[in-house]
Structure 1
Amino acid sequence: MCLNHTPTSRHWDGSPRATPPRRFLHVAAHSPSRLLRHGQSGICRRCGHRIDIYPRPDQRPIALHPAELTTHSVPAACRWHLSSGIAHPHDDGSDWCRIPHAALCPARTPSCQTSPRLNALRRQLAVRTRRLIDTGHFTPTPPAPDTPPAATHHPSRPVVNMLLGRYLADGPLQHIRCVAQTRHRQRCPQPVLNPDSPAGTWRLLPTGPHRCQLPLADTLMAVYDLSFLPHTEQRRWRTQRCPTHAALTAAADLTVTTWQIFDPLRHGAHIHARLPHPTAGRIRQG
Protein backbone atom coordinates (compact mmCIF):
# COMPACT_ATOMS: atom_id res chain seq x y z
CA MET A 1 0.00 0.00 0.00
CA CYS A 2 1.32 3.44 -0.94
CA LEU A 3 0.78 6.32 1.43
CA ASN A 4 0.47 9.81 0.09
CA HIS A 5 1.46 12.54 2.49
CA THR A 6 0.12 15.95 1.60
CA PRO A 7 1.74 18.97 3.26
CA THR A 8 -0.43 20.67 5.84
CA SER A 9 -0.12 23.83 7.85
CA ARG A 10 0.53 21.84 11.06
CA HIS A 11 3.12 19.36 12.28
CA TRP A 12 2.34 15.74 13.23
CA ASP A 13 1.70 16.77 16.84
CA GLY A 14 -0.79 19.46 15.85
CA SER A 15 1.51 22.43 16.38
CA PRO A 16 1.32 25.12 13.68
CA ARG A 17 3.89 25.01 10.93
CA ALA A 18 5.56 28.39 10.60
CA THR A 19 6.79 29.13 7.09
CA PRO A 20 9.37 31.90 7.06
CA PRO A 21 8.71 34.51 4.41
CA ARG A 22 11.05 34.68 1.46
CA ARG A 23 13.60 37.45 1.66
CA PHE A 24 14.80 39.22 -1.44
CA LEU A 25 18.16 40.92 -1.73
CA HIS A 26 18.10 44.59 -2.63
CA VAL A 27 20.92 47.06 -3.15
CA ALA A 28 20.44 50.50 -1.66
CA ALA A 29 20.75 53.28 -4.20
CA HIS A 30 23.01 55.30 -1.86
CA SER A 31 25.38 52.40 -1.13
CA PRO A 32 29.00 53.04 -2.20
CA SER A 33 29.25 49.35 -3.17
CA ARG A 34 26.64 47.69 -5.41
CA LEU A 35 28.04 44.24 -4.63
CA LEU A 36 25.69 41.72 -3.04
CA ARG A 37 26.96 40.22 0.21
CA HIS A 38 26.86 36.60 -0.99
CA GLY A 39 29.09 37.60 -3.92
CA GLN A 40 31.90 38.82 -1.71
CA SER A 41 33.07 35.41 -0.53
CA GLY A 42 35.58 33.15 -2.19
CA ILE A 43 38.21 30.47 -1.62
CA CYS A 44 41.92 31.16 -1.43
CA ARG A 45 43.62 29.28 -4.26
CA ARG A 46 46.74 28.72 -2.15
CA CYS A 47 45.34 27.41 1.14
CA GLY A 48 41.68 26.58 0.43
CA HIS A 49 40.17 28.74 3.18
CA ARG A 50 37.27 31.12 2.83
CA ILE A 51 37.99 34.79 2.17
CA ASP A 52 35.73 37.84 2.11
CA ILE A 53 36.45 40.26 -0.73
CA TYR A 54 35.71 43.95 -0.25
CA PRO A 55 36.57 47.06 -2.24
CA ARG A 56 38.91 49.62 -0.71
CA PRO A 57 38.39 53.39 -0.96
CA ASP A 58 40.40 53.34 -4.21
CA GLN A 59 38.13 50.52 -5.50
CA ARG A 60 40.91 47.94 -5.38
CA PRO A 61 39.73 44.61 -3.92
CA ILE A 62 41.20 43.12 -0.77
CA ALA A 63 40.66 39.67 0.73
CA LEU A 64 39.89 39.73 4.47
CA HIS A 65 39.71 36.91 6.98
CA PRO A 66 35.99 36.12 7.51
CA ALA A 67 36.14 36.28 11.32
CA GLU A 68 36.72 39.32 13.48
CA LEU A 69 39.68 39.41 15.86
CA THR A 70 40.30 41.38 19.01
CA THR A 71 42.05 44.66 18.28
CA HIS A 72 44.81 44.18 20.87
CA SER A 73 45.90 40.89 19.21
CA VAL A 74 46.33 42.45 15.74
CA PRO A 75 49.19 44.85 14.92
CA ALA A 76 48.08 48.35 14.02
CA ALA A 77 49.35 47.98 10.45
CA CYS A 78 47.02 45.01 9.83
CA ARG A 79 43.80 46.38 11.32
CA TRP A 80 40.89 46.92 8.95
CA HIS A 81 37.24 47.78 9.45
CA LEU A 82 34.16 47.87 7.23
CA SER A 83 31.92 50.84 6.63
CA SER A 84 29.05 50.76 4.10
CA GLY A 85 30.62 47.80 2.31
CA ILE A 86 34.04 49.50 1.98
CA ALA A 87 37.18 48.18 3.72
CA HIS A 88 39.31 50.86 5.40
CA PRO A 89 42.97 50.20 6.41
CA HIS A 90 42.68 51.09 10.10
CA ASP A 91 40.55 50.21 13.09
CA ASP A 92 37.37 52.09 13.99
CA GLY A 93 38.10 52.43 17.70
CA SER A 94 36.16 49.32 18.72
CA ASP A 95 37.46 46.18 20.41
CA TRP A 96 37.19 44.14 17.19
CA CYS A 97 38.75 44.47 13.74
CA ARG A 98 39.32 42.56 10.53
CA ILE A 99 42.65 41.36 9.19
CA PRO A 100 43.83 40.66 5.61
CA HIS A 101 43.92 37.01 4.65
CA ALA A 102 47.49 37.45 3.39
CA ALA A 103 48.61 37.97 7.00
CA LEU A 104 47.18 34.56 8.01
CA CYS A 105 47.47 32.44 4.87
CA PRO A 106 49.74 29.46 5.71
CA ALA A 107 51.00 29.35 2.09
CA ARG A 108 52.36 32.91 2.20
CA THR A 109 54.91 34.83 4.15
CA PRO A 110 53.18 36.99 6.80
CA SER A 111 52.62 40.49 5.46
CA CYS A 112 52.77 42.13 8.90
CA GLN A 113 54.26 41.65 12.33
CA THR A 114 52.91 38.51 13.97
CA SER A 115 51.67 37.92 17.50
CA PRO A 116 51.05 34.76 19.56
CA ARG A 117 47.34 34.90 18.69
CA LEU A 118 48.05 35.24 14.97
CA ASN A 119 50.68 32.49 15.05
CA ALA A 120 48.20 30.11 16.69
CA LEU A 121 45.56 30.99 14.10
CA ARG A 122 48.03 30.41 11.26
CA ARG A 123 48.87 26.97 12.66
CA GLN A 124 45.17 26.07 12.80
CA LEU A 125 44.71 27.12 9.19
CA ALA A 126 47.82 25.19 8.15
CA VAL A 127 46.50 22.00 9.79
CA ARG A 128 43.16 22.41 8.03
CA THR A 129 44.88 23.03 4.68
CA ARG A 130 46.90 19.84 5.08
CA ARG A 131 43.72 17.93 5.93
CA LEU A 132 41.97 19.27 2.82
CA ILE A 133 44.92 18.30 0.63
CA ASP A 134 45.24 14.81 2.13
CA THR A 135 41.52 14.08 1.65
CA GLY A 136 41.54 15.34 -1.93
CA HIS A 137 39.13 18.22 -1.32
CA PHE A 138 41.63 20.91 -2.28
CA THR A 139 44.56 21.25 -4.66
CA PRO A 140 46.68 24.38 -4.16
CA THR A 141 47.32 26.54 -7.20
CA PRO A 142 50.79 28.08 -7.32
CA PRO A 143 50.98 31.72 -8.42
CA ALA A 144 51.60 32.08 -12.13
CA PRO A 145 54.79 33.96 -13.00
CA ASP A 146 54.40 37.22 -14.87
CA THR A 147 56.09 36.46 -18.19
CA PRO A 148 56.10 39.25 -20.76
CA PRO A 149 54.31 38.17 -23.95
CA ALA A 150 55.69 38.52 -27.43
CA ALA A 151 55.59 41.97 -28.96
CA THR A 152 53.35 40.84 -31.84
CA HIS A 153 50.58 39.59 -29.52
CA HIS A 154 48.18 41.37 -27.24
CA PRO A 155 49.55 41.98 -23.73
CA SER A 156 48.41 39.51 -21.10
CA ARG A 157 47.52 42.45 -18.82
CA PRO A 158 46.98 45.55 -20.95
CA VAL A 159 46.85 49.12 -19.69
CA VAL A 160 43.53 50.84 -20.47
CA ASN A 161 43.06 54.61 -20.59
CA MET A 162 39.56 55.68 -19.54
CA LEU A 163 37.81 58.31 -17.41
CA LEU A 164 40.97 60.44 -17.21
CA GLY A 165 42.93 57.59 -15.64
CA ARG A 166 44.89 54.49 -16.50
CA TYR A 167 43.97 51.05 -15.24
CA LEU A 168 45.73 47.70 -15.41
CA ALA A 169 43.50 44.83 -16.53
CA ASP A 170 43.58 41.43 -14.84
CA GLY A 171 43.79 39.59 -18.18
CA PRO A 172 43.53 40.04 -21.94
CA LEU A 173 40.86 42.42 -23.20
CA GLN A 174 38.74 39.66 -24.71
CA HIS A 175 38.75 37.77 -21.38
CA ILE A 176 37.46 40.62 -19.21
CA ARG A 177 34.08 39.31 -18.05
CA CYS A 178 30.97 41.12 -16.88
CA VAL A 179 30.56 41.17 -13.09
CA ALA A 180 26.77 41.62 -13.00
CA GLN A 181 24.37 39.03 -11.65
CA THR A 182 21.89 37.32 -13.97
CA ARG A 183 18.31 36.37 -13.15
CA HIS A 184 19.53 32.89 -12.23
CA ARG A 185 21.82 34.44 -9.58
CA GLN A 186 24.93 33.56 -11.53
CA ARG A 187 27.67 35.72 -12.94
CA CYS A 188 27.06 37.03 -16.43
CA PRO A 189 29.15 35.07 -18.98
CA GLN A 190 29.31 37.94 -21.50
CA PRO A 191 32.60 39.81 -22.06
CA VAL A 192 32.96 43.56 -21.67
CA LEU A 193 34.55 43.84 -25.11
CA ASN A 194 31.52 43.73 -27.40
CA PRO A 195 31.78 43.74 -31.23
CA ASP A 196 28.60 45.83 -31.51
CA SER A 197 29.95 48.59 -29.24
CA PRO A 198 32.56 51.25 -30.07
CA ALA A 199 36.08 49.90 -29.75
CA GLY A 200 39.15 51.56 -28.36
CA THR A 201 42.41 52.33 -30.11
CA TRP A 202 45.90 51.09 -29.35
CA ARG A 203 48.20 54.07 -28.96
CA LEU A 204 51.73 54.78 -27.84
CA LEU A 205 51.53 57.19 -24.90
CA PRO A 206 54.23 58.41 -22.47
CA THR A 207 54.56 56.44 -19.27
CA GLY A 208 54.60 59.49 -16.99
CA PRO A 209 54.17 61.61 -15.10
CA HIS A 210 50.46 60.85 -14.82
CA ARG A 211 47.96 61.71 -12.08
CA CYS A 212 50.53 63.14 -9.62
CA GLN A 213 52.88 60.19 -10.02
CA LEU A 214 56.63 60.48 -9.98
CA PRO A 215 58.17 61.44 -13.34
CA LEU A 216 59.86 58.63 -15.25
CA ALA A 217 62.02 58.49 -18.31
CA ASP A 218 60.37 59.87 -21.44
CA THR A 219 59.42 56.50 -22.94
CA LEU A 220 56.31 55.37 -24.77
CA MET A 221 54.07 52.47 -23.81
CA ALA A 222 51.21 50.65 -25.51
CA VAL A 223 47.86 51.76 -24.07
CA TYR A 224 44.34 50.73 -25.10
CA ASP A 225 42.78 54.19 -25.31
CA LEU A 226 39.06 54.66 -24.57
CA SER A 227 39.23 58.38 -23.80
CA PHE A 228 37.65 59.42 -27.11
CA LEU A 229 34.54 57.26 -26.50
CA PRO A 230 31.37 58.68 -24.87
CA HIS A 231 31.38 58.94 -21.08
CA THR A 232 28.70 56.23 -20.76
CA GLU A 233 30.84 53.80 -22.71
CA GLN A 234 33.93 54.53 -20.59
CA ARG A 235 31.87 54.10 -17.44
CA ARG A 236 30.63 50.74 -18.74
CA TRP A 237 34.22 49.58 -19.04
CA ARG A 238 35.13 50.95 -15.61
CA THR A 239 32.18 49.18 -13.93
CA GLN A 240 33.08 46.06 -15.96
CA ARG A 241 29.67 45.38 -17.42
CA CYS A 242 28.41 44.07 -20.74
CA PRO A 243 26.11 46.38 -22.78
CA THR A 244 23.00 44.52 -21.59
CA HIS A 245 23.70 44.90 -17.86
CA ALA A 246 25.09 48.41 -18.32
CA ALA A 247 21.55 49.48 -19.25
CA LEU A 248 20.08 47.70 -16.19
CA THR A 249 21.00 50.04 -13.35
CA ALA A 250 19.08 47.93 -10.82
CA ALA A 251 21.21 44.83 -11.49
CA ALA A 252 23.69 44.15 -8.70
CA ASP A 253 27.29 42.99 -9.05
CA LEU A 254 28.14 39.41 -8.16
CA THR A 255 31.86 40.06 -7.71
CA VAL A 256 34.26 42.95 -7.54
CA THR A 257 35.85 44.49 -10.61
CA THR A 258 39.38 43.41 -11.46
CA TRP A 259 40.82 46.80 -12.47
CA GLN A 260 43.91 48.13 -10.72
CA ILE A 261 45.07 51.72 -10.83
CA PHE A 262 48.12 51.63 -13.06
CA ASP A 263 51.36 52.67 -11.39
CA PRO A 264 54.42 52.60 -13.67
CA LEU A 265 56.69 52.09 -10.66
CA ARG A 266 54.89 48.97 -9.42
CA HIS A 267 53.65 47.63 -12.75
CA GLY A 268 56.84 48.02 -14.76
CA ALA A 269 56.63 44.39 -15.98
CA HIS A 270 53.44 45.23 -17.87
CA ILE A 271 54.88 48.19 -19.80
CA HIS A 272 55.29 47.37 -23.49
CA ALA A 273 57.14 49.73 -25.79
CA ARG A 274 55.65 48.25 -28.98
CA LEU A 275 52.07 48.09 -30.21
CA PRO A 276 50.38 44.67 -30.37
CA HIS A 277 49.71 44.87 -34.12
CA PRO A 278 51.87 47.45 -35.89
CA THR A 279 49.92 47.05 -39.15
CA ALA A 280 46.44 47.54 -37.68
CA GLY A 281 44.44 50.40 -39.14
CA ARG A 282 43.20 51.82 -35.83
CA ILE A 283 46.62 52.12 -34.21
CA ARG A 284 48.26 55.49 -33.94
CA GLN A 285 50.91 57.19 -31.88
CA GLY A 286 50.04 59.87 -29.33
Structure 2
Amino acid sequence: MNIRKRALVFLMAFIGCKTTFAITLADSTKNKTTSIFNPKNSKDYSNKGRFYVHWGYNFSFYSKSNIHFKGPGYNFTLHKVHAADRPSKLNWDYINPVEITIPQFNFHFGYYIKDNYSISLGWDHMKYVVNTPQKVTITGYIHPEISNPAIQTGAYAGTYDHEEFEIKEDFVTFEHTDGYNFATVSLERYDDIWVAHNKKQYLTMETGFDTGLLIPRTDATLFGVGKNHYWNVAGWGASAKVGAKFFFSKHFFLQGSFKSGFTNLSRIRTTGRKAFDNARQNINFFEHYYVLGFVI
Protein backbone atom coordinates (compact mmCIF):
# COMPACT_ATOMS: atom_id res chain seq x y z
CA MET A 1 0.00 0.00 0.00
CA ASN A 2 1.19 3.51 -0.81
CA ILE A 3 2.99 4.92 2.26
CA ARG A 4 1.57 8.39 1.74
CA LYS A 5 -1.97 7.04 1.66
CA ARG A 6 -1.40 4.98 4.79
CA ALA A 7 0.10 7.98 6.56
CA LEU A 8 -2.87 10.12 5.57
CA VAL A 9 -5.38 7.59 6.87
CA PHE A 10 -3.62 7.17 10.20
CA LEU A 11 -3.11 10.92 10.55
CA MET A 12 -6.84 11.42 10.19
CA ALA A 13 -7.45 8.63 12.70
CA PHE A 14 -5.02 10.30 15.11
CA ILE A 15 -6.76 13.65 14.75
CA GLY A 16 -10.12 11.98 15.32
CA CYS A 17 -8.87 10.20 18.42
CA LYS A 18 -7.24 13.35 19.77
CA THR A 19 -10.47 15.28 19.39
CA THR A 20 -12.52 12.43 20.80
CA PHE A 21 -10.43 12.13 23.94
CA ALA A 22 -10.00 15.87 24.43
CA ILE A 23 -10.34 17.11 28.02
CA THR A 24 -13.88 18.26 28.84
CA LEU A 25 -14.80 21.01 31.28
CA ALA A 26 -18.02 20.12 33.10
CA ASP A 27 -20.48 22.40 34.91
CA SER A 28 -21.28 20.16 37.87
CA THR A 29 -24.31 22.14 38.99
CA LYS A 30 -26.14 21.84 35.69
CA ASN A 31 -24.70 18.54 34.45
CA LYS A 32 -23.72 20.31 31.22
CA THR A 33 -20.49 20.12 29.24
CA THR A 34 -18.59 23.15 28.01
CA SER A 35 -18.13 23.03 24.25
CA ILE A 36 -14.83 23.92 22.60
CA PHE A 37 -16.92 26.33 20.49
CA ASN A 38 -18.38 28.12 23.54
CA PRO A 39 -21.81 28.87 22.02
CA LYS A 40 -23.80 31.83 23.37
CA ASN A 41 -26.59 29.58 24.68
CA SER A 42 -26.60 26.11 26.25
CA LYS A 43 -29.32 23.52 25.83
CA ASP A 44 -31.45 23.02 28.95
CA TYR A 45 -31.15 19.23 29.17
CA SER A 46 -28.49 16.52 29.17
CA ASN A 47 -28.27 13.54 26.82
CA LYS A 48 -26.50 11.41 29.44
CA GLY A 49 -28.19 8.01 29.85
CA ARG A 50 -30.19 8.26 26.62
CA PHE A 51 -30.13 5.96 23.59
CA TYR A 52 -30.07 6.94 19.93
CA VAL A 53 -30.54 5.23 16.60
CA HIS A 54 -29.90 6.53 13.10
CA TRP A 55 -30.45 5.29 9.56
CA GLY A 56 -29.30 6.76 6.26
CA TYR A 57 -27.24 6.30 3.10
CA ASN A 58 -23.64 6.64 1.98
CA PHE A 59 -21.33 7.27 -0.97
CA SER A 60 -17.74 6.02 -0.92
CA PHE A 61 -14.42 6.44 -2.70
CA TYR A 62 -11.55 3.94 -2.66
CA SER A 63 -7.81 4.19 -3.14
CA LYS A 64 -6.18 1.90 -5.67
CA SER A 65 -5.54 -1.52 -4.14
CA ASN A 66 -3.33 -4.55 -4.75
CA ILE A 67 -5.38 -7.77 -4.90
CA HIS A 68 -3.49 -11.02 -4.28
CA PHE A 69 -5.03 -14.27 -5.59
CA LYS A 70 -3.66 -17.60 -4.42
CA GLY A 71 -4.56 -21.27 -4.82
CA PRO A 72 -3.40 -24.55 -6.41
CA GLY A 73 -1.49 -23.70 -9.59
CA TYR A 74 -1.51 -19.93 -9.25
CA ASN A 75 -0.18 -17.12 -7.11
CA PHE A 76 -0.48 -13.66 -8.63
CA THR A 77 -1.11 -10.04 -7.67
CA LEU A 78 -2.97 -7.36 -9.59
CA HIS A 79 -1.39 -4.02 -8.69
CA LYS A 80 -3.12 -0.66 -8.22
CA VAL A 81 -6.59 -1.87 -9.12
CA HIS A 82 -9.22 0.84 -9.39
CA ALA A 83 -12.68 0.30 -7.92
CA ALA A 84 -15.79 2.37 -7.23
CA ASP A 85 -18.98 2.12 -5.22
CA ARG A 86 -22.39 1.32 -6.76
CA PRO A 87 -25.15 3.45 -5.23
CA SER A 88 -28.69 2.45 -6.13
CA LYS A 89 -30.66 4.81 -8.33
CA LEU A 90 -33.24 6.88 -6.51
CA ASN A 91 -36.30 4.66 -6.38
CA TRP A 92 -38.78 3.04 -4.02
CA ASP A 93 -36.09 0.72 -2.58
CA TYR A 94 -35.06 3.56 -0.27
CA ILE A 95 -38.41 3.51 1.54
CA ASN A 96 -39.70 -0.01 0.78
CA PRO A 97 -39.31 -2.02 4.04
CA VAL A 98 -38.64 -5.22 2.03
CA GLU A 99 -35.92 -3.68 -0.17
CA ILE A 100 -34.54 -0.99 2.15
CA THR A 101 -31.21 -2.79 2.70
CA ILE A 102 -30.36 -2.89 -1.03
CA PRO A 103 -28.97 0.68 -1.27
CA GLN A 104 -25.71 1.61 0.45
CA PHE A 105 -26.95 2.26 3.99
CA ASN A 106 -25.64 3.21 7.44
CA PHE A 107 -27.19 2.04 10.70
CA HIS A 108 -26.01 2.88 14.22
CA PHE A 109 -27.42 2.24 17.69
CA GLY A 110 -25.75 4.14 20.51
CA TYR A 111 -25.82 5.19 24.15
CA TYR A 112 -24.73 8.50 25.69
CA ILE A 113 -22.33 7.68 28.51
CA LYS A 114 -22.06 11.43 29.14
CA ASP A 115 -23.83 14.42 27.67
CA ASN A 116 -21.06 14.79 25.12
CA TYR A 117 -19.79 11.20 24.71
CA SER A 118 -21.47 8.12 23.26
CA ILE A 119 -20.63 4.55 22.35
CA SER A 120 -22.37 2.80 19.48
CA LEU A 121 -22.65 -0.32 17.37
CA GLY A 122 -22.84 0.25 13.65
CA TRP A 123 -23.19 -1.38 10.25
CA ASP A 124 -21.89 0.51 7.21
CA HIS A 125 -23.17 -1.25 4.11
CA MET A 126 -20.88 0.05 1.38
CA LYS A 127 -20.22 -1.45 -2.05
CA TYR A 128 -16.90 -2.05 -3.81
CA VAL A 129 -16.73 -2.87 -7.53
CA VAL A 130 -13.54 -3.47 -9.55
CA ASN A 131 -13.92 -1.71 -12.88
CA THR A 132 -13.60 -3.91 -15.98
CA PRO A 133 -11.97 -3.61 -18.35
CA GLN A 134 -9.00 -1.72 -16.90
CA LYS A 135 -5.23 -1.84 -17.33
CA VAL A 136 -3.02 -2.70 -14.34
CA THR A 137 0.28 -4.46 -13.75
CA ILE A 138 0.57 -8.11 -12.71
CA THR A 139 3.19 -10.22 -10.93
CA GLY A 140 3.26 -13.96 -10.18
CA TYR A 141 2.36 -17.09 -12.08
CA ILE A 142 -0.68 -18.90 -13.48
CA HIS A 143 -0.47 -22.54 -14.59
CA PRO A 144 -2.55 -23.95 -17.49
CA GLU A 145 -4.76 -25.69 -14.89
CA ILE A 146 -5.58 -24.27 -11.47
CA SER A 147 -7.74 -25.06 -8.43
CA ASN A 148 -9.44 -28.37 -7.65
CA PRO A 149 -11.29 -29.60 -9.67
CA ALA A 150 -9.18 -28.12 -12.45
CA ILE A 151 -10.02 -24.84 -14.16
CA GLN A 152 -8.48 -24.19 -17.58
CA THR A 153 -6.71 -20.82 -17.82
CA GLY A 154 -6.00 -20.81 -21.55
CA ALA A 155 -4.05 -17.84 -22.86
CA TYR A 156 -3.67 -16.39 -19.36
CA ALA A 157 -1.21 -19.12 -18.30
CA GLY A 158 2.30 -17.82 -17.77
CA THR A 159 4.76 -16.08 -15.46
CA TYR A 160 4.43 -12.33 -14.98
CA ASP A 161 6.87 -9.69 -13.76
CA HIS A 162 5.14 -6.31 -13.63
CA GLU A 163 3.79 -6.56 -17.16
CA GLU A 164 0.95 -4.31 -18.20
CA PHE A 165 -2.21 -6.36 -18.06
CA GLU A 166 -5.85 -5.77 -18.91
CA ILE A 167 -8.48 -7.13 -16.52
CA LYS A 168 -11.34 -8.61 -18.50
CA GLU A 169 -14.46 -10.44 -17.32
CA ASP A 170 -13.25 -13.80 -18.66
CA PHE A 171 -10.23 -13.43 -16.37
CA VAL A 172 -11.56 -11.93 -13.11
CA THR A 173 -14.73 -10.25 -11.92
CA PHE A 174 -14.52 -8.96 -8.39
CA GLU A 175 -16.93 -6.97 -6.25
CA HIS A 176 -18.10 -6.67 -2.66
CA THR A 177 -21.61 -5.52 -3.50
CA ASP A 178 -23.80 -7.30 -1.00
CA GLY A 179 -21.73 -5.73 0.36
CA TYR A 180 -18.48 -4.24 1.67
CA ASN A 181 -19.90 -4.39 5.20
CA PHE A 182 -18.08 -2.68 8.07
CA ALA A 183 -19.44 -3.79 11.48
CA THR A 184 -18.08 -1.39 14.08
CA VAL A 185 -17.83 -0.42 17.71
CA SER A 186 -17.49 3.36 17.97
CA LEU A 187 -16.68 6.09 20.44
CA GLU A 188 -18.02 9.56 19.66
CA ARG A 189 -17.60 13.03 21.17
CA TYR A 190 -19.89 16.05 20.67
CA ASP A 191 -19.18 19.77 20.84
CA ASP A 192 -22.11 22.14 20.48
CA ILE A 193 -21.53 24.73 17.76
CA TRP A 194 -24.81 26.66 18.03
CA VAL A 195 -27.81 26.52 20.39
CA ALA A 196 -31.10 28.31 19.73
CA HIS A 197 -32.49 30.88 22.18
CA ASN A 198 -35.20 28.40 23.20
CA LYS A 199 -32.40 25.93 24.11
CA LYS A 200 -34.15 23.11 22.21
CA GLN A 201 -32.69 23.20 18.68
CA TYR A 202 -28.93 23.02 18.32
CA LEU A 203 -26.06 22.13 16.00
CA THR A 204 -23.27 19.92 17.33
CA MET A 205 -20.04 18.59 15.87
CA GLU A 206 -19.39 14.85 16.16
CA THR A 207 -15.88 13.39 16.09
CA GLY A 208 -15.14 9.74 16.65
CA PHE A 209 -13.20 6.58 16.08
CA ASP A 210 -14.51 3.22 14.78
CA THR A 211 -12.97 -0.21 14.77
CA GLY A 212 -14.46 -3.51 13.77
CA LEU A 213 -14.79 -6.37 11.32
CA LEU A 214 -15.28 -6.53 7.56
CA ILE A 215 -18.07 -8.97 6.69
CA PRO A 216 -18.42 -8.83 2.91
CA ARG A 217 -20.60 -10.85 0.64
CA THR A 218 -18.23 -11.06 -2.29
CA ASP A 219 -19.41 -11.69 -5.85
CA ALA A 220 -16.33 -12.93 -7.70
CA THR A 221 -15.28 -15.21 -10.54
CA LEU A 222 -11.87 -16.52 -11.53
CA PHE A 223 -11.64 -17.73 -15.15
CA GLY A 224 -15.42 -17.90 -15.20
CA VAL A 225 -15.79 -19.94 -12.00
CA GLY A 226 -17.34 -18.31 -8.95
CA LYS A 227 -20.52 -16.99 -7.38
CA ASN A 228 -22.10 -14.51 -5.00
CA HIS A 229 -20.93 -15.92 -1.68
CA TYR A 230 -22.48 -15.86 1.76
CA TRP A 231 -21.25 -13.31 4.27
CA ASN A 232 -17.96 -14.15 5.94
CA VAL A 233 -15.59 -12.40 8.33
CA ALA A 234 -12.86 -11.41 5.89
CA GLY A 235 -10.80 -9.02 7.99
CA TRP A 236 -10.77 -5.93 10.18
CA GLY A 237 -10.67 -2.17 9.88
CA ALA A 238 -10.42 1.17 11.67
CA SER A 239 -11.62 4.65 10.79
CA ALA A 240 -11.93 8.23 12.03
CA LYS A 241 -14.99 10.39 11.41
CA VAL A 242 -16.18 13.96 11.71
CA GLY A 243 -19.60 15.41 11.05
CA ALA A 244 -22.43 17.65 12.21
CA LYS A 245 -25.80 16.88 13.81
CA PHE A 246 -28.71 19.29 13.74
CA PHE A 247 -31.32 18.58 16.40
CA PHE A 248 -34.81 19.70 15.39
CA SER A 249 -35.96 18.86 18.89
CA LYS A 250 -34.87 16.85 21.91
CA HIS A 251 -35.62 13.65 20.01
CA PHE A 252 -34.94 14.08 16.28
CA PHE A 253 -31.77 14.97 14.39
CA LEU A 254 -30.33 15.08 10.87
CA GLN A 255 -26.63 14.27 10.45
CA GLY A 256 -24.01 14.52 7.71
CA SER A 257 -20.54 13.04 8.27
CA PHE A 258 -17.26 12.11 6.62
CA LYS A 259 -15.29 8.98 7.48
CA SER A 260 -11.80 7.89 6.42
CA GLY A 261 -10.54 4.39 7.13
CA PHE A 262 -8.22 1.48 6.47
CA THR A 263 -9.35 -2.14 6.10
CA ASN A 264 -7.39 -5.37 5.86
CA LEU A 265 -9.22 -8.23 4.13
CA SER A 266 -7.16 -11.40 4.35
CA ARG A 267 -9.87 -14.05 3.76
CA ILE A 268 -11.81 -13.17 0.62
CA ARG A 269 -13.76 -15.91 -1.14
CA THR A 270 -13.38 -16.18 -4.92
CA THR A 271 -14.35 -19.39 -6.76
CA GLY A 272 -16.38 -20.74 -3.85
CA ARG A 273 -13.80 -23.43 -3.14
CA LYS A 274 -12.70 -21.73 0.07
CA ALA A 275 -10.35 -24.59 1.00
CA PHE A 276 -8.35 -23.84 -2.16
CA ASP A 277 -9.03 -20.44 -3.71
CA ASN A 278 -8.86 -17.16 -1.84
CA ALA A 279 -7.75 -13.56 -2.19
CA ARG A 280 -6.63 -10.74 0.06
CA GLN A 281 -6.31 -6.98 -0.18
CA ASN A 282 -6.03 -3.77 1.83
CA ILE A 283 -8.54 -1.03 1.05
CA ASN A 284 -8.43 2.63 2.06
CA PHE A 285 -11.81 4.32 1.85
CA PHE A 286 -13.38 7.73 2.20
CA GLU A 287 -17.09 7.71 2.96
CA HIS A 288 -19.68 10.42 3.32
CA TYR A 289 -23.10 9.62 4.69
CA TYR A 290 -26.36 11.31 5.62
CA VAL A 291 -28.72 9.94 8.25
CA LEU A 292 -31.91 10.71 10.15
CA GLY A 293 -31.84 9.88 13.85
CA PHE A 294 -34.00 9.52 16.94
CA VAL A 295 -32.96 9.92 20.59
CA ILE A 296 -34.88 8.11 23.31
Report which of the two has the higher share of strand.
2
**With structure 1 as the length reference, what TM-score do the two structures score?**
0.21
Higher helix share: 1
- Of structures 1 and 2, the one with the larger relative CO (CA 8 A, separation 6+) is 2
TM-score, L = length of structure 2: 0.20
Q: Which has the larger radius of gyration?
A: 1
